[in-house]
Structure 1
Amino acid sequence: MWYWLFKYIFMGPLLTLLGRPKVEGLEYIPRSGPMILASNHLAVADSFYKPLVVSRRITFLAKSEYFTGTGIKGWFQRWFYTAAGQVPIDRSDADSAQAALTTAARVLGEGKLLGMYPEGTRSPDGRLYKGKTGLARLALETGVPVIPVAMIGTDSVNPPGSKMWRFGRVTVKFGKPMDFSRFEGLAGNRFIERAVIDEVMYELMRLSGQEYVDLYAADVKDGNAELAAKPSARMPEVAAG
């Protein structure tokens, strides 16, 4: 209930006023059934504007720490993230990466839309960074199609590092569903997983118009001067198969 109240009453109208969202390709979102929404990541606002323009509820994964706080602050944080459609990653598995995939597979098994950011973190400078293969493994293990989603302008409405939101124009572009059934049975093959995620990133680059950087965004954020200074690499043409 709170998810829809936030969307249509508490936050939705304000977000619409600030970002005047424009949406393209909404017809690619199925009315029912599981689907992975793979998006570029420019700002915190990405996780608000995507659900705003999609009629179905979108579920995102969140660190379990967001749901285990104590006191009033912990209660509010737990309530807010739950209301915003986020679920905690089950970290009972010693491997946190596998725990995330297990939780994601459970969400998809329930027939839901799962929102993921293959870059793993927000872009430090507005460019598109190398995708991590977790999303590819999930798609291969579950057989669920991937819809690329380009977020444009969210970093102007919600500048990274700033607590202030501004007026701007947000565009959300949905691409055609990507079917990787041709790789059935090859989950766990790192070369196949890299090919799959590169194909997804190529579509995100095409939809968003961002410059591609063949580095992980987290490495650049960690302050590695050599990596940050390395010139960007053009994403090669990817065969659609």
Structure 2
Amino acid sequence: MFYWLLKHVLVGPLLKGVWRPQVEGLEHVPRQGAAILASNHLSFSDSFFLPVMMRRRAVWLAKSDYFTGRGPRGRLTAWFFRSLGAVPVDRSGGRASEAALRTGLRVLSEGELLGIYPEGTRSPDGRLYRGRTGVARMALEGRVPVVPVAMIDTEKVQPPGQAIPRLGRVGIKVGPPMDFSRYYGMAGDRAVLRSVTDEVMRELQRLGGQEYVDVYASSVKGGRPAPASTPRRPEPSDDAA
């Protein structure tokens, strides 16, 4: 009920009327059955525009911080994500990462559409960063397709740290489902996981036209200088995250 109200009464008409998102490729989202929506992540507002514009409800893995904020804004944020059906996950790594993967697989086993951001966090500068291999593990273990989604210019309407979005036009491009059935049964192979993840990131780059940076966004946010230029597109390697 809350989801319907948010999408069709409270939030949806406002976003569609004011920001007028340009959406392409919604027909690529399966109407039923389990699948993964894998999106780049430019802005906090991605979590508003994307669910509202999708024809089918998706369950999103959202960082647990969104559910524990204090004050009116924190409580409103928590209410919003719960109303969308988002699932809180701990992204601190180690056992927490494994628990997040198990949560995603449970959602897929129930035939749901699962939404994730392979970069693991918002881009600090509008470029596309290296993907985490959780998307590959869930696709292979869950035996489901990956639907790539590119958010475009959302960082311009709501840059990091800005609470209220400014006026502007945003875009959403959905690509055809990616079939990784040739790798089923190989979810334990780190090289395969990296190859699948990089293939997803290449498609996101193609859809959105972002510059690719071959480091993790979290490391840049942690203080590591980001490369000044992009040496290459994401390609298979033998390390995983």
Structures share a fold, TM > 0.5? Answer: yes
Residues 81-119 of structure 1, C-alpha deviation per residue, up to 9 Å, x if partnerless? 21022113389xx71111001100111111111111000
Residues 95-154 of structure 1, C-alpha deviation per residue, up to 9 Å, x if partnerless? 111100110011111111111100011001101010010111111111110000000011
For 1:193-208, what aligned pairs fall within 5 Å after superposition? 193-208=193-208
Partner Cα separation in structure 2 for residue 13 and residue 81 of structure 1: 18
TM-score between the two structures when normalised by the length of structure 2: 0.89
Partner Cα separation in structure 2 for residue 154 and residue 71 of structure 1: 26
Partner Cα separation in structure 2 for residue 87 and residue 67 of structure 1: 9
Aligned 8 A contact 1:18 1:166 in 2 = no
Partner Cα separation in structure 1 for residue 90 and residue 227 of structure 2: 37
Aligned 8 A contact 2:214 2:234 in 1 = no
Partner Cα separation in structure 2 for residue 53 and residue 76 of structure 1: 21
Query: 1:145 maps to which residue?
Result: 145
Secondary structure at 1:139 match in 2 = helix
Give the aligned residue type for 1:79: W
Query: 1:52 maps to which residue?
Result: 52
Partner Cα separation in structure 2 for residue 210 and residue 64 of structure 1: 28
1:4 aligns with 2:7: no
RMSD between aligned residues: 2.3
Query: 2:215 maps to which residue?
Result: 215
Query: 2:160 maps to which residue?
Result: 160
For 1:217-236, what aligned pairs fall within 5 Å after superposition? 217-225=217-225, 228-229=226-227, 231-235=229-233
Secondary structure at 1:147 match in 2 = strand
Secondary structure at 2:18 match in 1 = helix
Q: Which runs of 5+ in 1 are unaligned?
A: none
Percentage of matched positions with identical amino acids: 58
Aligned 8 A contact 2:38 2:149 in 1 = yes
Residues 34-77 of structure 1, C-alpha deviation per residue, up to 9 Å, x if partnerless? 11000010001111111111111111112446546799887655
Secondary structure at 1:234 match in 2 = coil
Give the aligned residue type for 1:235: R
Task: Return the offset for 1:31.
Answer: 1.1
Partner Cα separation in structure 1 for residue 65 and residue 45 of structure 2: 21
Give the aligned residue type for 1:37: L
Q: How has the CA–CA distance of structure 1 residues 20 and 117 changed in structure 2, closer, same or farther, with 3 Å as cutoff?
A: same
Task: Return the offset for 1:158.
Answer: 1.5
For 1:1-241, what aligned pairs fall within 5 Å after superposition? 1-64=1-64, 66-67=66-67, 78-89=78-89, 95-225=95-225, 228-229=226-227, 231-235=229-233
Aligned 8 A contact 1:90 1:103 in 2 = no
Give the aligned residue type for 1:234: R
Partner Cα separation in structure 2 for residue 144 and residue 124 of structure 1: 30
Tell me the number of residue pairs that the alignment of Structure 1 and Structure 2 aligns.
235
Partner Cα separation in structure 1 for residue 64 and residue 160 of structure 2: 23
Q: Which runs of 5+ in 2 are unaligned?
A: 237-241
Partner Cα separation in structure 1 for residue 234 and residue 218 of structure 2: 22
The range that moved more, 72-81 or 160-169, is 72-81
Partner Cα separation in structure 1 for residue 67 and residue 125 of structure 2: 30
Q: How has the CA–CA distance of structure 1 residues 82 and 208 changed in structure 2, closer, same or farther, with 3 Å as cutoff?
A: same
Give the aligned residue type for 2:114: L
Task: Return the offset for 1:25.
Answer: 0.8
Secondary structure at 1:60 match in 2 = strand
Give the aligned residue type for 2:233: M
Partner Cα separation in structure 2 for residue 179 and residue 187 of structure 1: 14
Task: Return the offset for 1:230.
Answer: 5.1
Partner Cα separation in structure 2 for residue 87 and residue 185 of structure 1: 27
Partner Cα separation in structure 2 for residue 80 and residue 55 of structure 1: 18
Secondary structure at 1:162 match in 2 = coil
